[in-house]
Structure 1
């Protein structure tokens, strides 16, 4: 069995997470600490990838160009007869492999997961940015595709705007039905992954012996866990109330999203215990962050200064301090120092939001109050998306 150089027992960032950080509480939910010898069975997934999407990209995007290829997918999902052969045949073959109503899918549970994500409001977007995305930079390997596709040159502003737009769109009610925006966004993202992988392997000096395959199945699972399990851990640290059945709902939601993104079903967890074990196996067999990790972390740290909102320079500096405060609050000093993040000087005002959550969640939430919070949270998320699209993405695209 091939074992890439990236595979090693972690003795720094993630070990700290499981022994002194948020992982301690997670492990208590298991009846034992997972045996890392069992993680070896997952090594082949570092070389496994989304072959069906790669095949479509070669038959479609590489023939007509990436932008037109994405448009043809959009046209096909609206009316499959509108796309002419030979591209229609390629699209027919690809979508024939996707079961949009598999026997294991529970739409009510999935929609409940969307409702929880909406209810998280601004807290959810803070956790995604300052905990999930920033914390992901602690692994050198999973971020190498970003380096090889020139993400640093494109800037953190555009990358964050794209992530916010994607997440808010897929968290719309009923959005994962085949004719809705969330489904389209997921398929478009799947194509981006394949297009990037093909170009990295064909046009760069990517070393499989070091990193495995770019955007491989195991790293895709780790990203999925970041948006589901880790996301909920971050919300709970922000004193956001999540009930046990809601944890199952969010995991079910991301199981279907992961399936649509081309992740092997056997990797995707159904229960919190399965998710914790999966996260443990991946994190504890990762090389620690490197110089590229620090570059990516610094780019995200500086993103508020490079953004176009708030419109004043002072407002952008304050926004940077607030995000740094959340970085340290959610990730802890140890991780932030490994990533080379500056310490916040006056961002502690952000703690008022955490105190507000604590007070709010000390009370029993009625169904009526929960529905009100879902509506309020969704409104907050749509406003953040509007801000990114209005002030950031438009200006950043002019420079790309």
Structure 2
């Protein structure tokens, strides 16, 4: 079996997570400690990629340009008959392999997962940024495609704005049904992954013996777990109450999203225990972070300063301190040191939000109050998206 050199037992960041961090409580939910030798079975997925999407990109995006290819994809999702041949044939072939409503999908359960994500409000976006995204930089391998596609040069502001735009859109009620905005955004993202992979392999010195394939299926599963299981853990650390059936709902939601993104169904977990095992196998066989990891972490740390909101320099500096506080609160000081993050004292004012979450837990048990919290949380998320898009568009217009 071909084994890339990135595949090694982790002895730093993720090892600490499972022995002294949040992972300790996760492992208690399993009947026994996972056997790391089982991870060997997953190594081939480091060399597997989303071949249907790659084929579509070759027949569509590489023929007409990436921007035009995405336009044709969007047009096809609205009215396939309006797309000219041969591009319609390529799109027909791609979408023939996708069931928009497979037999295993429970729409009611999926919408329950969306409701949890909406109720998380601003705390949900904080967890995504300061725990899931920043914590993901602790692996050198999964972030290498970002380096090879020039993400550092493009800046953390745009990357974060794109992530918020994507996440908020797919967390709209009913948005993941075929033809809706969430479904469209997932498919557009799948093409971005395929286009990036093809270009990295064709135009750079990417070393498959070191890293496997860029945006391979095992790393895609890890990203999916970041948005699902790790997101849940982060919310719980923020004193946000999630019931067992809600955990199952969030996992089901991301199983469907993962399926639409081209992740093999057999990799996607149905239960919390399966998700914990999957996260353990991936994290514990990851090469520790490197200089690129720290550069990405540094860029995200400074993102509030480089952003265009708040408008005052003092406000942006305070925002930086608040996010740094959440980095330390959620990730822990050990991980933050490895990533080279600064410490903060004045950012501790952000703990008031954690206390607010704790106070809301009793209300969340009451049906009427629960819906009010969902509505309020969703409004917070929509406002953050509006801010990111408004101020980023303003800056882009200045540059042009």
TM-score, structure 2 as length reference: 0.99
Counterpart in 1 of 2:73?
A: 73
Question: Contact 2:152–2:299 (CA<8 Å) still a contact in 1?
Answer: yes
Partner of 1:143: 143
Moved more, 385-394 or 234-243: 385-394
Q: Deviations over 1:94-127 (max 9, x none)?
A: 0111001111000000000001100000000000
Taking the TM superposition and a 5 Å limit, the aligned residue runs for 1:289-328 are: 289-328=289-328
Partner in structure 2 of residue 263 of structure 1: 263
How far the C-alpha of 1:359 sits from its partner, in A, is 2.1
CA distance in 2, matches of 1:84, 1:397: 33
Between the aligned partners of 1:204 and 1:398, the Cα distance in structure 2 is: 32
Greater shift in the superposed pair: 385-394 or 215-224: 385-394
- The whole-number CA distance in structure 1 between the counterparts of 2:235 and 2:112 is 16
Residue in 2 aligned with 1:19? 19
Shift of 1:187: 0.2
Output one character per residue of 1:145-176: Cα deviation in whole Å (capped at 9) or x when no partner.
Answer: 00000000000000000000000000000000
CA contact (8 A) 2:364 2:370 kept: no
- Contact persistence 2:113–2:253 (CA under 8 A): yes
Tell me the secondary structure at the aligned position of residue 235 of structure 2. helix
- CA contact under 8 A between 2:10 and 2:284: conserved in structure 1? yes
CA contact (8 A) 1:323 1:347 kept: yes
| Conserved 8 A contact 2:364-2:373 | no
**Where in structure 2 are the equivalents of 1:194-233 lying within 5 Å?**
194-233=194-233
Aligned pairs (5 A) from 1:20-39: 20-39=20-39
SS of alignment partner, residue 131 of structure 1? helix
Is 1:157–1:396's contact at 8 Å kept on the other side of the alignment?
no
Q: Describe how 1:321-400 pairs up with structure 2 within 5 A.
A: 321-362=321-362, 365-396=365-396
* Partners of 1:139 and 1:286 within 8 A in 2: yes
Q: Once the two structures are superposed, what CA deviation does each residue of 1:10-60 show, in whole Å capped at 9, x if it has no partner?
A: 000000000000000000000111000010000000000000000000000
For the residues of structure 1 that align with 2:333 and 2:281, how far apart are their CA atoms? 24
List aligned pairs for 1:24-173, cutoff 5 A. Answer: 24-173=24-173
**Alpha-carbon offset, residue 320 of structure 1:** 0.2
CA distance in 1, matches of 2:236, 2:75: 41
Structure 1 stretches of 4+ with a deviation exceeding 3 A read 396-400
Q: For residue 182 of structure 1, what is the aligned residue in structure 2?
A: 182
Task: Give the CA deviation at 1:356.
Answer: 1.3
Moved more, 318-327 or 386-395: 386-395
Could you tell me whether the CA contact under 8 Å between 1:158 and 1:397 is conserved in 2? no
The answer to whether the 8 A contact 1:5-1:211 is kept is yes
Q: Distance in 2 between matches of 1:247 and 1:236?
A: 11
Alpha carbons of structure 1 residues 201 and 355: separation in structure 2 relative to 1, 3 Å: same
Q: Distance in 2 between matches of 1:80 and 1:364?
A: 43
> Does the CA contact (< 8 Å) of 2:363 and 2:370 recur in 1?
no
**Following TM superposition, by how much is the alpha carbon of 1:393 offset from its aligned partner in structure 2, in angstroms?**
4.6
Q: 1:176-230: per-residue Cα shift (whole Å, max 9, x none)?
A: 0101000000000000000000000000000000000000000000000000000
8 Å CA contact 2:76–2:82 kept in 1: the answer is yes
CA change 1:286–1:397 in 2 (3 A) is farther
1:239 and 1:83, CA in 2 relative to 1: closer, same or farther beyond 3 A? same
Q: Which residue in 1 is equivalent to 2:241? A: 241
Q: Distance in 2 between matches of 1:343 and 1:55?
A: 46
Q: Does the 8 Å contact 2:363/2:369 carry over to 1?
A: no
> Hey, what's the Cα distance between the residues in 2 that align with 1:397 and 1:163?
20
Query: If the length of structure 1 is used for normalisation, what is the TM-score?
Result: 0.99
Q: In structure 1, the residue corresponding to 2:128 is in which secondary structure?
A: helix
Using a 3 Å threshold, how does the CA distance of structure 1 residues 341 and 393 change in structure 2: closer, same or farther? Answer: farther
User: Are the counterparts in 2 of residues 161 and 393 from structure 1 also a CA contact under 8 Å?
Assistant: no
RMSD: 1.0
Unaligned runs of 5+ in 1: none
Deviations 1:279-318 (A, max 9, x none): 0000000000000000000000000000000000000000
